[in-house]
Amino acid sequence: SKNRKEVECYIREWFDLETDLAPFYEMAKNDALLKNLVNTYHGYRIVGQPDLFESLIWAVLGQQINLQFAYTLKQRFVERYGEQIEFNGQKYFLFPSPKIVSKITTDELLALQFSKQKAKYTVGIAEVFVMGEVSKEKLKGLSLQQAKELLIKIKGVGNWTANYALMKTFRYPDAFPLEDAGVHNAIRNLKKMKTKPTLDQVKRIFKKYEGWEAYATLYLWKSL
């Protein structure tokens, strides 16, 4: 049926099932940092966020706070503003649409414990989507650099946020959140370094992963 086909397509995109990981594993098996990780977590794929708006907001929510608090903020936000359906006595929420979010006041978000900056960015990103300046369709087919340039024009979206969203929504294999604290901690742990690596050191390490930066990032995150 048509519905079944749509669900199947969504799941294939969601779990990145179209990507052939064989070349990544071939490269990683000789790499000091990745070889044990790809053995341990073989078959692990990027679980995506097919909705670009959700990806950007989630990245903004996660900036400069621990993951647990980021999840709490997201849950409050989704339960407060997302549409919901009930099935077998259980409530399920959709991520709030840009149209709904664009009408929220920053004070309402402050009440959910958003910082003033995050509240402003969240509403601002929604407005950009409502005006049609950015959309998943507009970014389709662009190179990583072009897509990144378009996203970075949005207030509150920097290099890390843009790379994160492009990795999660479009599966750019070379999307790489260079400034990511998790990546830095993973490298530090695996290399048994006394301090976190510098951005230059991280860039040097990732040179070997060219074309597979997103999956190298994923497996380094998994090591944590």
Contact between 214 and 177 (Cβ < 8 Å)? no
Which residues does the annotation mark as catalytic?
180
Could you give the CA distance from residue 169 to residue 52 in angstroms, rounded to a whole number? Answer: 6
By C-alpha distance, which of 104, 105, 79 is closest to 92?
79
CA 198 → CA 66, 179, 181, 202, 216, distances in Å?
21, 10, 11, 6, 18
